[in-house]
Amino acid sequence: EIVLTQSPGTLSLSPGERATLSCRASQSVRSSYLAWYQQNPGQAPRLLIYGASSRATGIPDRFSGSGSGTDFTLTISRLEPEDFAVYYCQQYGSSPWTFGQGTKVEIK
Amino acid sequence: QVQLVQSGTEVKKPGASVKVSCKTSGYTFSNYGISWVRQAPGQGLEWMGWVSADSGNTNYAQKFQGRVTMTTDTSTSTAYMDLRSLRSDDTAVYYCARDSYYHSSGLYPDWGQGTRVTVSS
């Protein structure tokens, strides 16, 4: 199965700053079938990005995704208070679908 | 709007079984499938498998094969996940998520609220 490694584990930033989250796959992700989810404590994950760079319905344009092959990035251009959460990448190109271990974006 | 409402918290002893339900509304249940994803305390997400709502076809992650059964009841638009021979490392929050009909797409815009399952002697 494809192992996804996210970095950093924790990102300490202030509101208004730019966040850059990384996701590296142990093998190439077929057709860039890479998604990003946001999760707040006690809540279900929320789909942000699919196909590596397409925003899901209702997701603000400050969220953007990029990458292909084995290296992917989620960028939040200007952090809003509600963006401080845990972010997971997920590949859905090769079964079993797998998730990264998460990056926590916390308030500095 | 699409809603998936899961059953409540469960506490089980090692070796027991648990059955979690996921009642859906706001869409035509039989035109989609349901996947199950779990999250151990403080850990990441783990895909367990998929069931087609109408046909009952399933695809389980190898890790859970032989121990999990996913079923649906189209008359009540409800999906079920039955996990047997529970161990302490099965302690997790279990989520259902709307998926595709013919096979799991792996993409989940709609989720249930989660069901906490604790396995402890």
Look at A92 and B95 and tell me if their CB atoms are within 8 Å.
no
Question: What residue type is assigned to position B109 of the chain?
Answer: P
Q: Which stretches of chain A score pLDDT less than 50?
A: none
Predicted local confidence at residue B103, as pLDDT: 85
Predicted local confidence at residue B101, as pLDDT: 86
Contacts B64 to A, Cβ<8 Å:
none
Query: Is B109 buried (19+), middle (13-18) or exposed (0-12) by CB count in 10 A?
Result: middle
Q: Which stretches of chain B score pLDDT less than 70?
A: none
Size of interface A-B (CB pairs under 8 A): 51
The SS3 assignment for B90 reads helix
> What DSSP assignment string belongs to A4-28?
EEEE-SEEEE-TT--EEEEEEESSP
Who among A37, A47, A97 is closest to B47 (CB)? A97
Predicted local confidence at residue B88, as pLDDT: 97
Nearest-neighbour CA in chain B from A88: distance (Å): 8
Whole-angstrom distance, CA of residue A48 vs CA of residue B32: 21
- Give the pLDDT confidence of A96-106 residue by residue, as tens digits: 999 999 999 99
Nearest-neighbour CA in chain B from A4: distance (Å): 11
